[in-house]
Amino acid sequence: MEQRQQQLFYPPGGILIWMILSIELLTFIPALIAFFAYRSQEIDLFIRSSGHLSLGIGTINTAILIGGGWLVAEGIRRLRLNQKSRASRMIWLGAVAGIAFLLLKGFEYYQKLDSGYGLNYDTFFTMYWLITGFHFLHVVVGTVLLAMAANGIRKERYTATDHDDVETIGIFWHMCDLIWILVFPSLYILSRGGLQ
C-alpha cells in the first residue's frame, strides 16, 4: 500500500514534469479547439488553404517522431538493464530523429514562406504557424535534452538505478510525439474536408 501511494506522489520523472505536461496539453488542446472553431466559421477557406500543406511531408515527419519515440523508450529500457552503451546509442538515435524532424519541418516552412503563406496570409495559416511553431520549439528543446542525456549516459552520470533525469527527458519527448499525433491529423487531414 505504501509503495502504491509513493508511486502516486512520485511518478516516473517526478511530479514536476507531469505538471508541465498537463500545462502543455492545456495549451495545445485549446489551440486545436480554437482551430476547429475558426474552421467551422470559414470551412471553404480552411479546405482550400490546408490543400497547400504537404501530406507527404507531414506523414514522414509523423513516422520520424514515432520512430524517435520508440528509440528513446528502448534506450531507457536498455539503461534500466544496465546496457549503457546500447542505451546511449538508442537515445542518440532519438536525437537524430528529432534533428530529421526539424530539418524536414524547416524545409516545409521554407516552402510555405517562399509561396507567400506566412503568418498573416489567412486564418488557417495563422493557426498553422502558431500551433506547429510552438511544437517545433518543443522538438528543439527535446532534441537538445536527448543529446545531453545520451552524453550523460556515455559519461556514466546515469546508471540502471540512478536515471531519473533520463526518464524525465523521455517523458518530455513522448509529449512532443503525443502533441504531433494530435496536430498532424487536425491540420493536414481533417481540415481538408473531413468535418463539414
191: Cβ contacts below 8 Å, ≥ 6 apart: 35, 39, 46, 47, 50, 124
User: Cα–Cα distance between 188 and 62 in angstroms, integer?
Assistant: 11
* Distance, CA of 127 to CA of 172 (rounded, Å): 23
Contacts of 43 (CB under 8 A, 6+ apart): 196
Instruction: For the chain, report the end-to-end CA distance as a whole number of angstroms.
Output: 50
Residue 48's CATH number: 1.20.120.80
Average pLDDT by consecutive 10-residue portion of the chain (196 residues)? 47 62 77 86 89 93 95 91 90 96 97 93 93 92 92 84 82 89 89 60
- 128 is a domain residue: yes
Domain encompassing residue 108: 38-192
Q: Indicate whether 119 belongs to any domain.
A: yes
Residue 123 included in any domain: yes
Task: Say if 31 falls within a structural domain.
Answer: no
Does the residue 76 lie in any domain? yes
Helix extents (H) in the chain: 2-9, 15-41, 43-50, 55-80, 84-114, 123-154, 164-184
pLDDT value for 196: 46
Distance from C-alpha of 133 to C-alpha of 138, rounded to nearest angstrom: 9
pLDDT of residue 17: 67
* Residue whose entry in the numeric block shows the C-alpha cell 490543400: 51
Residue 123: CB atoms within 10 A of its CB come to 16
Q: Are 61 and 101 in contact (CB under 8 A)?
A: yes
Residue 183 cell numbers, joined:
496536430
What whole-number distance in Å separates Cα of residue 189 and Cα of residue 73?
Answer: 28
How many distinct structural domains can be found in the chain?
1
For residue 120, is it within any domain? yes
Position 29 in a domain: no
Question: Does residue 67 lie within any of the structural domains?
Answer: yes
Instruction: Supply the DSSP symbol for 192.
Output: G
